[in-house]
Amino acid sequence: MIKNFEDIQTMSKANMDATMKSFEVVAKSTQAIATEIADYSRRSFENGTKAAEKLIGAKSLDTDRGAERICKGGLRRLRL
């Protein structure tokens, strides 16, 4: 009877250890995904700010080829 109890206890400990390791992997993966999302958001905001600054500095949207390129480039990025 005691041997069976020790076996169950050993198996339970091994299962708990495996579960805790898998939770660690999930936590690290979630953190990596959140970091990537934050970096992407920051880059998108910076690019949008640069594009807005260039458009504000354009003399005219009809004659300024730079503004036209900015708009087309932004549209291309939106079509993932």
- Spans of all domains in the chain: 2-78
Sequence-distant (6+) residues with CB within 8 A of 58 are 64, 66, 67
pLDDT in tens, 20-49: 999 999 999 999 999 999 999 999 999 889
| pLDDT band for position 80 (cuts 50, 70, 90) | very low
Mean pLDDT of 1-12: 83
Amino acid letter for position 55 = L
| pTM of this structure | 0.56
Is residue 61 a contact partner of residue 67, using CB atoms and an 8 Å limit?
A: yes
The candidate with the shortest Cα–Cα distance to 51, out of 65, 78, 80, 71, is 71
Q: What is the DSSP letter of 34?
A: H
The residue with greater pLDDT, 36 or 70, is: 36
